[in-house]
Structure formats: structure tokens, C-alpha cells
Structure 1
Amino acid sequence: MTPLPRVAWIGLGVMGSPMAENLLRAGYPVTGYTLEQHKLDRLAAHGGVPAPSAAEAARNADVIVTMLPADADVTAVAHGPDGILDRARPGALLIDMSTVAPGTAVALAAAGAEHGLRVLDAPVSGGEAGAVEGSLSVMAGGRAEDVEAARPLFEVLGGTVVHCGPHGAGQTVKAANQLIVAAGLQACAEAVVLLERSGVDVDAALDVIGGGLAASAVLTRKRRNFLDRDFTPGFRIDLHHKDMGIVTAAAREARLTLPLAELAARLIAEARERGDGGLDHSALLRGVERAAAS
């Protein structure tokens, strides 16, 4: 039986930790690196091997996965003084599953090729629950043969794996995804407040709404967050703010006016300015309530 490829996992946050743990459960040998010791301890408790640096994690890996908060983090891990590009084994597959700008993905692919690496951008959707369940949607950009090489690993992490096109295409699709999620969150938040203020049985209303054309994963996944006002972060407003910056930049590059994207970006920015950046993005409901009280 052919052994599974050795995986280096860089970034063990809300999404990264359960994703790495799913690979460990599937039998992949995983060496991981992140800045927080308690997250390395969690990896070790699940059978992974902590590394002292990203470069050391990547040194002998067949597949290197980065799952980091933003473009600057990905660039630093790749190109920094102890960067993975200089330490990775030629021929290794570098998969960035972070959400970054399409241009960052294209630049990483070019730099990786100069070091003999195969590179994919493969951001995901599904939030913390999807990461835990292994039901994420994986949107991959890069060469078709590299996507196929990564598919067994992707299928451990997600229920939907799609090759979206060349380098950067996965990130463009993720930008569109984040626009739809932002609009859906705001619409659901406004609907919940409308129902509550109108004296309607909100649970009953959401049951029937969820059975019709307005049904959505946002409504299903975030229903209890809205109703219980539980904004424990699964995906923070700060990160969605970053993603909406990618959306608006992509729209400018495509010479498009996207009115709803601009409104959603503004509402998310206002939530951050009000101190809600560390809350789950379902906390957009707080902005609806503030507006209702004014």
C-alpha cells in the first residue's frame, strides 16, 4: 500500500486546527507550525508533530498547506528570512488555503515555480462547522494535474471540490463567495429583527422561510447565532472585512460597479468601527439593532 504523502500544515487557527486534525484521522502524517504553543499542543494531542518554524515543517513534506489570516501572512511565510520557498523540497505541492487576493495567489505560484514547487490556491467555504465536519467547499486554482494530485487530500477536508481555473481563479471564486455570504448575513439579520419587532413567532417564521426559495446555508448555519445573540467567533468580522476589501479591489480591476458589495463592505466596516471586529460575522445583527434604536 502506497503511504500517504507527508503534510506540513502552517496555520492552526479556528479553521486550520480542525482541518489538520481531519487529515490526521484519515491517516496523513502531519507536521504543523503556528505561533501559539497551545495550538501546537492540540496538534500533538491529535497525533501530529509540532515544528519549531514553518520552514522546518516544510523541509521534508510532500504537501505544504498554508491556512493563514491574510496576504501579508502568506507572503511572510513564503518569502521571509526563514521562508518555506527556500526550504521546501523541489517537486513538493504548495497549497495556499488562505483567503487572499487573486494577485497574491498568482505571484505565489510564480515564485513557487522558480523554486521547483507546484502551487495551488484553494480557499474554502463552510466556516468552522464545515472545517470540523470535513464538509468544506474547496475552490481550487492552478494546473489541472496538480488539482487532481491534491484531490484525495481535499476530499478529506471538503464535500465539494472544484477546479475553478488557472492560478488565482480559486481566490476570485472565494471573493464572490464572500460577497454572497455578506449579503446573506445582512439580509438574515434584518429579517430576524423585522420578525421580532413585528411580534411574529420567529422560530416558526424561519422554519417556513427555510423551506422555500429564501433557504440558505447562511440561514441554517447562523440561525442560533442570530436568535440567541451568540456571536462567539466562528468567522470574525475582522476577517470578513479583509475579504470584502478583496471583493471591492477585484471589482475595480474588472471595471465593475457592484452596489450591494459596496454596501456590505461599508456595513462590515462600520461593525468593526463599533468594536465588533472580534465577533462572529453574524454580529452584523448588532448593527441592525443599533439602527433600529436610533
Structure 2
Amino acid sequence: MSKIGFIGLGIMGRPMAGHLLDAGHELATVKRDKLLASELADKGMQELADPRAVAEASEVIITMVPDTPDVEQVLFGEGGVIKGLKPGTLVIDMSSIAPLATQEFAQRIEAAGGEYVDAPVSGGEGGAINAALTIMVGATEEGFERANPLLELMGKTITHIGGHGAGQTCKVANQIVVALTIEAVAEGLLFASKAGADVAKVRESLLGGLAQSKILDVHGQRMIDRTFDPGFKIKLHQKDLNLALEGARSLDLALPGTANAQQLFQACAAHDGADWDHAGMVRALEALANHEIE
């Protein structure tokens, strides 16, 4: 069993850490102002002063934080992981951040004697709770082999995409597809509703045809039920689409659908919806149509 430092106990990080504890690993995290979730405290998770202390006590570090600057702060800031990094420590970043920054972080960790793996995830809160996440890995062959037994405790589909940064590139592509599919599902259900059809039956029928998708299944139902508690917050999907659009500019690549989806998310944020589940994009389309799905 490994001594693991897990930093980032949010909506998804908390159940992910729980799976590692259930498998018998020893976990430590950074002490925060609020109490550690009881399900983790009861399983023996320790709280230490800062990321440096977590690194000093750990053989593996896992980060699951919101954005690129957060990962940089945890790893390299004052009291950061790198200050307490022991030779051979495996650092697995499961956040969704910029691919180019990831390559730089990997170089810095490896120069300090560690092994770096980028392993962003898809599957939302449900995937985290059920240990059914899709995990996209950027690493050396050795890094992937070391990380994989731990990743298998949190995910169902684990793919070694390529070298450092490749996992993050795959995650950006994933977020493009997810955003555009949410928009497609929202437009389809909105059309059906305004035309007077039974939206629940329309969704049921579409799930049996070529339009079938996990997003139509899960988020289509959210749109019908009007349940927009996150899941995955709009503001985090906005962050991911910013990465996509910034990357597209550097590649001289046009992503018009992605840009449009970002504008719809921005419309939601302008109506105090930054913390809605990303299925809440439908509300921006409903406002344009002056019609709510029913």
C-alpha cells in the first residue's frame, strides 16, 4: 500500500480520495479552514500543514484542483510540493489545465527527481462516485505503469495518450465535444417543446437512435427536470473552453462551434449561473427563444 498525498477534495476529488482509502492506501491532505469531510476523516485521512508537508509524508502526490494557476501554486508556490519532494515521488495531476503549462510542470518535477503524470478525467460527479471515470494520461511508459494501479481504483476507461501534456490535450478535446453536445441536446429538446411535443417521449425515442449519447441521457433528463445543481459547474467548463480557444489561436485553427458554446455559457454566467451544472446552458437558449422546456 502507498502513502498518498491527495490535494483537492472538491465535488470530484472527495469520492476519488475515498476510493483510494477504501483500497487500503494511507492518505494525507492539506488542512483547510473547514472540517474534513466525515467520510474521509472516519477512514483515517490525515491533515497536514501545507503541500510541502504532504510531499514529505508521501510516496505519491495527486492533485485535483480547478485551474492551471492552482496546480502551479500547489506544486511550486511557497510551501509547495516541490519543497518537500523526495527522489522518485510520483506526481499525478488529475486537474484539467493547459497542456503547455503541463509540459513545463513535468520538466520542473522531473528536474527535482520526481516522475510526473498528467491524468485529467471525464465523467463528472457520478463517475467519481462510482469509480467509473474516463482518465486520459500523458506520461512516460514508466510513469504510466506506476500510476495505472491507482488510476484503476478511480476510473473505468484509462488510456495512455502519449507524452507529458497529451492527457491534457485529450481533455480539452473532450470538453469541446461535451459542450457542443450539450448545446445540440438543448436545441433539440427546446425545438420539440416549443413545437408542442412531449419532450420526455422525444428524449426516450432519441435515446434509441443515432442521436443517442450519455449527455442526452443524463443532461437531457436534467433539462426536463430543471435540476441544475452541479455536477460540473459552468465556470469550470468555461475555463476548459478558454484553453481550447487559446490553443486554437496558437494553432491557427478555427473552432466556431466551441466559440458559440462559450458565449452561451457566458450568457448563463451573466445571469448568475456560473455555478449551475453545465446542462444549464439550456437556460441561455430558452431565454433567446422566450420559451422554457416543459
The equivalent of 1:193 in structure 2 is 190
Is the 2:18–2:39 contact (alpha carbons within 8 Å) kept by the matching residues of 1? no
Return the offset for 1:34: 5.7
- Map residues 211-226 of structure 1 onto 2, 5 A cutoff: 211-226=208-223
Please tell me whether residue 60 in structure 1 is matched to residue 57 in structure 2.
yes
- Comparing 116-125 with 57-66, greater Cα deviation is found at 57-66
- Map residues 106-145 of structure 1 onto 2, 5 A cutoff: 106-145=103-142
Aligned pair partner of 2:173 in 173, 176, 189: 176
Q: Which runs of 5+ in 2 are unaligned?
A: none
- Map residues 1-294 of structure 1 onto 2, 5 A cutoff: 4-33=1-30, 35-293=32-290
Instruction: Compute the TM-score of the two structures, normalised by the length of structure 1.
Output: 0.95
Return the offset for 1:60: 2.1
Which amino acid is 2:285 matched to?
V
SS in 2 for 1:156: coil
Residues in 2 aligned to 1:292 and 1:36: alpha-carbon distance in whole angstroms: 44
Distance 1:224 1:33, change over 3 A: farther
- Aligned residue pairs: how many? 291
Is the 2:121–2:133 contact (alpha carbons within 8 Å) kept by the matching residues of 1? yes
Identity %: 37
Is the 2:106–2:117 contact (alpha carbons within 8 Å) kept by the matching residues of 1? yes
Instruction: Compute the TM-score of the two structures, normalised by the length of structure 2.
Output: 0.95
SS in 1 for 2:82: helix
Q: Which runs of 5+ in 1 are unaligned?
A: none
Residues in 1 aligned to 2:146 and 2:268: alpha-carbon distance in whole angstroms: 41
4+ long deviations beyond 6 Å: none
Residues in 2 aligned to 1:184 and 1:231: alpha-carbon distance in whole angstroms: 17
SS in 2 for 1:164: strand
Distance 1:83 1:221, change over 3 A: same
SS in 1 for 2:25: coil
Is the 1:248–1:261 contact (alpha carbons within 8 Å) kept by the matching residues of 2? yes
Which amino acid is 1:123 matched to?
P
Return the offset for 1:270: 2.1
Residues in 2 aligned to 1:34 and 1:135: alpha-carbon distance in whole angstroms: 28
